[in-house]
Structure formats: C-alpha cells, structure tokens
Amino acid sequence: MIEIEGVSKSFDEIQALKDINCTVSRGSIFGIAGTNGAGKTTLLKTIAGVYKPDSGKISIYGADVHENISIKSRMFFVPDNPYFPRGFSIIDMARFFKGIYPKWSQERFEKLKSYFSLPYKKRINSFSKGKQKQVAILLGLCTMPEILILDEPFDGLDPVVRQMFKKVLIDEVAERQTTVLISSHNLRELEDLCDTIAILHEGKIVAKKDIDDLKQTVTKFQVVFKKNFDIDSLKDFKILSYIKKGNVEILVVKGDRQRILEILNKYEPIVLDTVPLTLEEIFIYEMGGIGYEVKDIIL
C-alpha cells in the first residue's frame, strides 16, 4: 500500500536518501533502524509528504503523496520534536484536533486519558521531551489514522510508558489494521513490535527483513561431536558463521531447523544446544556476509 520507488533526496551537497525502494503493506508495523544521520527522519518526512523527493516517487493507495491533501488527511505524523502552540494544554489540543480531523475520536481520547497519567490541563510546552512525545502519540491515535508515522517515538520515554505505548500500538494494528511506520536508532527497541525492519545506513536500505521469518530460519547451534564433523554436509544451507573453540563447534545456520538437526545428529553429538538469537545478532550475522560494519550501524 505504501510504494517507495527509487527515492532520492539531497540537502545541498548532502545526499540524505539514495535510491530507496521498498513496500510497506497495510496493517503492518514497519521499523526503520539506523544511526544518527542515516536518513530516517528524511525518509519518514518524505513518506508523510512533507518533503518532495528529488527523484523517484512515493505512492499511497496508488497516488502520489506529495501535496495530496486527501491522502495526508488519512495519516498522522509524529515528528522527533513535536510542536504545540504556545500555552495549549492537552485538553486544548484535543479540542483543536477535533475541529480539524474529521475522524477524531473523543471516546478514544477519554479511554487513553484514563490509561496515561499526564497533566491534561497544564501547558504542554512546560512538559519534558518524553512527556511531549507521549502527548503527540496519544493525540495522533485519537485522529484514527490509517497510517501512523512515528519518528523516534520511544526516545525519552521511561520503560513503563514505553511498554504501555507498544501495547497500545499493537492493539491499534490488530483492531483497525493501521499501518505504522516507526524509526529508532536502537534496533532492540523495534524487535518486539515490528513485523518488518529495514536498516538504513548512509541514506540506503542495507537490509530489510521479515521478523518472524528471520527468527524461525536462523539458528545458532553449539555442538560437541563424537564423530569428526564435516561442514560440507550443510552445503545446502547458508552458513552465517562457523567457529570452532576447542571441541565445541558453534554454527549459525539459515534454513529448516529440523533438517539441520537431522544432519548434525548423524555425527552423534555429545552436546547439541540450539541457542535463540536476538534480532541484533541475526542482523549482524546476515549483514556480516555483505561486508558492513553492522555493530556501527545498529546500536
């Protein structure tokens, strides 16, 4: 539903986005990870129609998003530093948004209000950065968007509130099929929330993965074999890492776990452990093969 085709964007001599191609399907939570300056904000602002790409295009529901008011009215963008008019409280903002967003839900506002403890009648500009971000996300949810774009939403939120927002977002997608795009400089932050994660580095998408698929297909095995193990017996699989430490062999292999276990069992292992991998480790192994210094890209 969101089609990004050959998008590039420069600011003077800085090329912030370089030929980005990607599709985001409806009802998915799509994460964009990358270090400071990778191009995350530029990509999100281009998707939100704030920036016009220098080349390429972004289509949402088949139409170009830039200067398209009808599409923009179906999305909500929470920037890294949300802006609130001077002197406005959350209640004032709710009243203001009710007037400009046709699908504003007062019912949802009341529900979220009882859930998130915030000073609803105080000036938002006096709030901490984390609290201002909470307000922006909360108000964004009440506009009942079809597409919710969140730039570094968890930055500055304490762990309890972060978990609460993650739950609200997951419920939102499950109930309303909202498409959510989230950026973060921390891959771990996106791990338990996103269906798909793209890693942006120096303006390019250097990896894009379906999370469930990844977790199922990449396994780490720690084995002590009785018989001499021949790594060639796994030639039908992609070996992402193979290390031998004394008599312990550590393999990270992509492919059907059951079939791999059958092969390893032929060497009569004395010890055979399958170790769950974090998403970060999977990306490191996967991208190691294409020569990126992943540790520098994902924090």
Ligand X SMILES: Nc1ncnc2c1ncn2[C@@H]1O[C@H](COP(=O)(O)OP(=O)(O)OP(=O)(O)O)[C@@H](O)[C@H]1O
Which residues contribute to the site for ligand X (CB under 6 A)?
11, 14, 16, 34, 36-42, 80, 185
In the block, residue with structure tokens 């994660």: 197
- Closest separation between CB of residue 37 and ligand X, Å? 4
- Per the CB < 8 A criterion, the answer to whether 282 and 214 are in contact is yes
- Closest separation between CB of residue 9 and ligand X, Å? 8
Q: Say how far apart CA 255 and CA 62 lie, in whole Å.
A: 36
- Closest separation between CB of residue 42 and ligand X, Å? 3
Query: Nearer Cβ to ligand X, position 16 or 138?
Result: 16
Query: Nearer Cβ to ligand X, position 198 or 223?
Result: 198
Q: Say how far apart CA 153 and CA 150 lie, in whole Å.
A: 6
Q: Say how far apart CA 101 and CA 96 lie, in whole Å.
A: 9
Strands 196-201 and 29-33: parallel
- Closest separation between CB of residue 51 and ligand X, Å? 9
- Closest separation between CB of residue 153 and ligand X, Å? 13
Query: Nearer Cβ to ligand X, position 152 or 172?
Result: 152
Q: Say how far apart CA 3 and CA 117 lie, in whole Å.
A: 37
Q: Say how far apart CA 85 and CA 149 lie, in whole Å.
A: 21
Query: Nearer Cβ to ligand X, position 148 or 260?
Result: 148
Query: Nearer Cβ to ligand X, position 38 or 94?
Result: 38
Q: Say how far apart CA 175 and CA 163 lie, in whole Å.
A: 18
Query: Nearer Cβ to ligand X, position 139 or 199?
Result: 199
- Per the CB < 8 A criterion, the answer to whether 71 and 32 are in contact is no
- Closest separation between CB of residue 206 and ligand X, Å? 13
DSSP summary character for residue 267? T
- CA 190 → CA 144, 162, 220, 221, 251, distances in Å? 22, 11, 22, 25, 26
